[in-house]
Structure 1
Amino acid sequence: MKSRIFLALLAVGGAFSAHAADTCSVNLEGNDAMKYNLANIDVPRSCANFTINLSHTGKMAKNIMGHNVVVAKTSDMAGIDTDGMRAGLAADYLKAGDSRIIGHSKVVGGGESTTVSIPVARLVAAGAPLSFFCSFPGHSAMMKGTVTLR
């Protein structure tokens, strides 16, 4: 009986260790209903870089229902979004060289995935509050969340 308990605790401990080792990344999903699966992304200050793995779980093409993920100061979201609409899909709905953008992925369509890695020092330097959002026209109203440094 004691050996079973020990093995169960060992298995649980291993699961926690595997999870703890993966704290410098997060899996984010966007769908055809213009929703992310997360409302907040926790970023440990101990990470050198933080990676967001974005998967578009829907079926619609990127020119119809594309998604990306943009990280910026919350106060900069509206301006980034407005300028991005003018930039168009070929520019991932982001103004070239926009210094307000801390990190961003490309726009993907249904069934596609992309990744963005952001130096945590850039997040710290930007200060709070931070947000993530989709810059596809009209999507940021629903597809947004907070980024929390911990």
Structure 2
Amino acid sequence: MSPKSLLPCLVVAVLALLPLHAAARTCNVAIGSNDAMQFDKQEIRIAADCTQVKLTLRHTGALPAEVMGHNWVLTTTANLEALATAAGKLPASSDHVPKGDARVLAASKVVGGGQSTTVTFSTSALRKGGDYTFFCSVPGHWMMMKGKLVFG
């Protein structure tokens, strides 16, 4: 084959790959927490075309993590209570997240006043219209610190 005849094949191959690359979309989300055990959002909406989410948790309070730390954990609403109970029994060194637990769809580390953390997760485990809850899994926090995640 001559170089001239290879050019159309190369162009077609490159164009075929472009939609796959262009389809990937990271959506950025920010949520705050405070010393009064509150998130500043009751609901987070993620567009259906987001392939991953980059969530930043900011602790706007002043108390250190040992006293009033918070994290952000995502699970199905059906698993919330059981997961929160299991997480609450874990030591602080685990960030109160059970390692390898399939009920955990995403989780951040625990942060204290003035700190922030970011967690990036794929939306591949989420389905449009699914029932998802985010919460703080630090012992005693989840009943007050929770909200809905809507995908799609």
TM-score, normalised relative to structure 1 = 0.81
Q: Quick one: percent identity of the two aligned structures?
A: 38
Cα offsets for 1:73-129 (capped at 9, x unmatched)? 01111111111122111001112211100000000000000011111111228x721
**What CA distance in whole angstroms lies between the structure 2 residues aligned with 1:73 and 1:140?**
14
RMSD: 1.7
Moved over 2 A (4+): none
Q: Is the 8 A contact 2:88 2:140 kept in 1?
A: no
Q: Does 1:64 align with 2:67?
A: yes
Structure 2 unaligned blocks of 5 or more: 1-24
1:33-55 residue CA offsets vs partner (Å, 9 max, x unmatched): 00001000001110110111100
- Contact in 2 for aligned 1:88/1:94 (Cα 8 Å): no
CA contact (8 A) 2:59 2:114 kept: yes
| Structure 2 CA distance for aligned equivalents of residues 23 and 32 of structure 1 | 30
TM-score (norm 2): 0.80
Q: What is the aligned partner in structure 2 of residue 136 from structure 1?
A: 138
Higher percent of residues as helix: 1
Task: Give the paired residue count.
Answer: 128
Question: CA separation in 2, counterparts of 1:123 and 1:67?
Answer: 23
Structure 1 residue ranges without an equivalent (≥5): 1-21
